Amino acid sequence: MADIQTSIRKNQKIKLLNGQTVTVTGKIGEGGQGIVYRVKVDGTNEEKAMKWYFMYKINDPKSFCSNLADNVATGSPSETFVWPEQLTEVTNGSFGYIMEIIPDRYKALSKYLQARVSFKSCSAMVTAAINIVEAFQQLINKGYSFQDINDGSFKIDPTTGDVLICDCDNVVSFGKASGISGKARYKAPEVVRGDTLPNKVTDRYSLAVILFLLLVGNHPLEGARSNVPCMTGKYERRFYGQEPVFMFDEQLDVNRPVPGLHRNAIALWPCYPDFIRKAFIRSFSQDSLLRSEGRLIEQEWLMLLVRLKSCIVRCMNCGCEYFAESTIATACPDCMAYNTPPGYLRFDKKRTNVEITIPIADGAKLYEAELDERSKDYNTVSAEILVKPGKYGLKNLSKSVWEITAPGGKTVKKAPGEVAVLGTGFRIDFGNGVTAEIVANSR
């Protein structure tokens, strides 16, 4: 192993700026900017990954390197980021940095998009979406923007929905350019048009693109109109910058998905509850695309996505998992049977502008952040809806005692582990300032 492009050899020792040395033990992968090697930190048993740059691919090496040094010094915004840990000394005219090795259980988003990997459950997929939003929230709060997002940057465990975000060497503070021209597909239209440098509003657009790719499986702006034989720079500027149109825009139908070409979008878009489709319609409206208006903030996405996770239910006919609406019948995507929930839980307070209703359907779960206003935990199940012929109930899996009031005014308490049998008009006080009512659906 000796690379001509980087002149790094196996067993070569590279000095880090903190004085340690590493020994190159193998190659992990190669990207547009450089090669990633496996290295051993000398004097320890630690293995790390080392990215080594093709210097000719970097516009302004001096400022690129100083930005990287700043990011090393500041440290990672969250554990989700595979953040640069130490820079190397310049060796043979190039340099690099070391970072954690990504475990094999994480697969690139690009593999999911090509159907080479698929999620083991709906809840793993929604958990991955939540993890990505939380990571972006921390990144934006620290004033960073991600300038070279691509679908290889996101690595996801298909069983748990755990996420690692790599390519963090192109993260820069708002208002700076990284010297790397990222892919137009993930950039906000105003950045593609050259109207602005990346900022938190443009980051929010990129986040919506990633979420759409993850949940719906195609790019939101790629449909019939953008289906050109060759995506030249001129077309890129047009379809992602100057004249972008969402494939499911409510007014403009010029860029709808093409059968055979955008199969995922055609199959998956109808499977989502109305509140998720509306969130994407708003994210990619002409107001958003042309005037940067109306984009969702991270906390709104978190509440929408945890609500989406709560709407995952089991089909009464075939047992398959799907996303159920609260107030209307939803067709099971597997057996096509229509199921209408007998009613739904309607929470009294909106959360970050998001109304929360949960269908009474077998398998629906409530998460800690839904039942406790102070909680940021979108994964711990705090309640589960149980449905049996002729009756339904809610199992308390939280740490709080609930107070349940029947329509006649009778009140009972339900401790953790107990099941409350419910009916129309029952009110539940979950403690922690959160209350809900059971509303019946007309049949």
For residues 87 and 315, which CB has a smaller minimum distance to Zn ion in the complex? 315
Question: What minimum distance in Å lies between the beta carbon of 410 and Zn ion?
Answer: 37
For residues 254 and 335, which CB has a smaller minimum distance to Zn ion in the complex? 335
| 329 lies in the binding site for Zn ion (CB under 5 A) | no
Sequence-distant (6+) residues with CB within 8 A of 442 are none
Residue 420 to residue 250: CA distance in whole angstroms:
42
Do strands 86-87 and 47-53 pair parallel, antiparallel, or not at all (unpaired)? unpaired
Do strands 391-396 and 419-422 pair parallel, antiparallel, or not at all (unpaired)? antiparallel
- The number of angstroms, rounded, from the C-alpha of 166 to the middle of its chain's C-alpha atoms is 14
Question: What minimum distance in Å lies between the beta carbon of 112 and Zn ion?
Answer: 23
Residues paired with 48 in a beta bridge = 39
Question: What minimum distance in Å lies between the beta carbon of 339 and Zn ion?
Answer: 8
Residue 365 to residue 346: CA distance in whole angstroms:
14
For residues 68 and 315, which CB has a smaller minimum distance to Zn ion in the complex? 315
For residues 101 and 337, which CB has a smaller minimum distance to Zn ion in the complex? 337
Question: What minimum distance in Å lies between the beta carbon of 363 and Zn ion?
Answer: 12
Segment contacting Zn ion (CB under 5 A): 11-19, 44-52, 317-325, 372-380?
317-325
Cβ(302)–Cβ(355) below 8 Å: no
For residue 71, give both structure tokens: 């990011």
- In angstroms and rounded to an integer, the radius of gyration of the C-alpha atoms of the chain is 25
| 332 lies in the binding site for Zn ion (CB under 5 A) | yes
For residues 300 and 362, which CB has a smaller minimum distance to Zn ion in the complex? 362
Cβ(168)–Cβ(78) below 8 Å: no
Segment contacting Zn ion (CB under 5 A): 188-196, 262-270, 289-297, 314-322?
314-322
For residues 334 and 373, which CB has a smaller minimum distance to Zn ion in the complex? 334
Cβ(17)–Cβ(88) below 8 Å: yes
Segment contacting Zn ion (CB under 5 A): 117-125, 128-136, 170-178, 315-323?
315-323
What binding mask, one character per residue, do residues 334-353 give for Zn ion by CB under 5 A, x or -? Answer: xx------------------
For residues 318 and 415, which CB has a smaller minimum distance to Zn ion in the complex? 318
Quickly count: other Cβ atoms within 10 Å of residue 50's Cβ: 24
Identified binder of Zn ion from the candidate list 55, 177, 281, 320, rule CB under 5 A: 320
For residues 53 and 322, which CB has a smaller minimum distance to Zn ion in the complex? 322
Give how many residues touch Zn ion by CB under 5 A.
7
For residues 90 and 331, which CB has a smaller minimum distance to Zn ion in the complex? 331
For residue 384, give both structure tokens: 């589960």
299: nearest Cα among 277, 281, 279: 279
Question: What minimum distance in Å lies between the beta carbon of 230 and Zn ion?
Answer: 42
For residues 197 and 320, which CB has a smaller minimum distance to Zn ion in the complex? 320
Question: What minimum distance in Å lies between the beta carbon of 336 and Zn ion?
Answer: 7
Alpha helix positions (H), 217-317: 233-237, 263-268, 274-283, 286-291, 298-310
Residue 426 to residue 57: CA distance in whole angstroms:
64
Residue 418, judged by CB atoms within 10 A of its CB (0-12, 13-18, 19+), counts as middle
Q: Which DSSP category does 170 fall into?
A: G
DSSP string, 198-214: --HHHHHHHHHHHHHHH
For residues 228 and 335, which CB has a smaller minimum distance to Zn ion in the complex? 335
Residue 394 to residue 384: CA distance in whole angstroms:
6
Cβ(35)–Cβ(5) below 8 Å: yes
Interaction residues for Zn ion, span 210-269 (CB under 5 A)? none
Question: What minimum distance in Å lies between the beta carbon of 329 and Zn ion?
Answer: 13
Question: What minimum distance in Å lies between the beta carbon of 127 and Zn ion?
Answer: 23
For residue 20, give both structure tokens: 């340690």
| 317 lies in the binding site for Zn ion (CB under 5 A) | yes
| 318 lies in the binding site for Zn ion (CB under 5 A) | yes
| 387 lies in the binding site for Zn ion (CB under 5 A) | no
Output phi, psi for 399, to 5 deg: -100, 0
Question: What minimum distance in Å lies between the beta carbon of 310 and Zn ion?
Answer: 19
Question: What minimum distance in Å lies between the beta carbon of 411 and Zn ion?
Answer: 38
Residue 157 to residue 11: CA distance in whole angstroms:
32
Question: What minimum distance in Å lies between the beta carbon of 324 and Zn ion?
Answer: 11
Segment contacting Zn ion (CB under 5 A): 8-16, 311-319, 359-367, 399-407?
311-319
What binding mask, one character per residue, do residues 269-308 give for Zn ion by CB under 5 A, x or -? Answer: ----------------------------------------
Give the binding site for Zn ion (CB under 5 A).
Answer: 315, 317-318, 320, 332, 334-335
